[in-house]
Amino acid sequence: MTNNHRLVLAFTGFSAHTSRLKLVTDVGHALVRNGFSVLVVDADGTGGIGMEIATNEAVTRHGLCDLLLGQMAPHQVIGRSRTPALDFVPAGAGLNELDEYLDEHRLDPVVMGKRVFQVLRQQYDYVLIATSNDRSVASTLCALAESDAVVVMTAMADGDALDAPEELADAYLVRKCFNPKLTVAGIIGLDSAIGEHARNPADHATDIVRSLSRDN
């Protein structure tokens, strides 16, 4: 099965890094089971996505940072997971220092992000990006630059949302100043899988992604 409207989707929010990675990889697996090709990208900077699904953890030394800086081509950093049609790009060494490098060399993260993700979207039905919960860092700006939509994840503490989902969604709409097509696809409570009428967050996120495909 192919998706005639190839989509780049960013996943972010106030949740633990491991929760974001697990959600994105679970969505990736679900899409692959439906016959789609998927690339999962770790744009968080804390690493780990390679070890989540990789066949060879050694590839995680290189990754998204090398792509953004033009130091490597996609085929040099894309890893193959244990699941056919599910590939990944790890954060790679240096992503945490990307902001400082771009400031020093006066490089625009939006331009870099568009260049890289325009290439990656041509190779897969879906590109799923796990981003930082800090929307101002360069790696997140790079991810949002070419994303079609963002899925916002929110966690709970003592029954209260750590951040109002509506406010978080509004923050992403501001990004339309450099990416007019960017929309907020949905908001997911990672603690919503608790209780009598629990719903798995990965199932919720997958439904959101599928609805985007139908809308397009």
Question: In this predicted structure, what is the pLDDT of residue 41?
Answer: 93
Angle subtended at Cα 51 by Cα 194 and Cα 80, rounded to the nearest 5 degrees:
110
Question: Which tens digit of pLDDT belongs to each residue from 164-214?
Answer: 555 455 556 656 677 888 888 887 876 544 444 456 778 888 888 888 776
Question: In this predicted structure, what is the pLDDT of residue 166?
Answer: 56
Give me the architecture of the 7-215 domain, per CATH. Answer: 3-Layer(aba) Sandwich (3.40)
Report the predicted TM-score, pTM, of the whole model to 2 decimal places: 0.84
Question: In this predicted structure, what is the pLDDT of residue 204?
Answer: 81
What is the number of other CB atoms lying within 10 angstroms of the CB of residue 101?
Answer: 14
The tokens describing 108, both together, are 């625009």
Helix (H), strand (E) at residue 113: helix 109-121
Question: Which tens digit of pLDDT belongs to each residue from 38-94?
Answer: 999 998 866 555 445 554 444 457 889 999 999 999 999 998 888 889 999 988 878
Question: So where are the chain's domains?
Answer: 7-215
Question: In this predicted structure, what is the pLDDT of residue 194?
Answer: 44
The tokens describing 203, both together, are 């199932």
Question: In this predicted structure, what is the pLDDT of residue 158?
Answer: 44
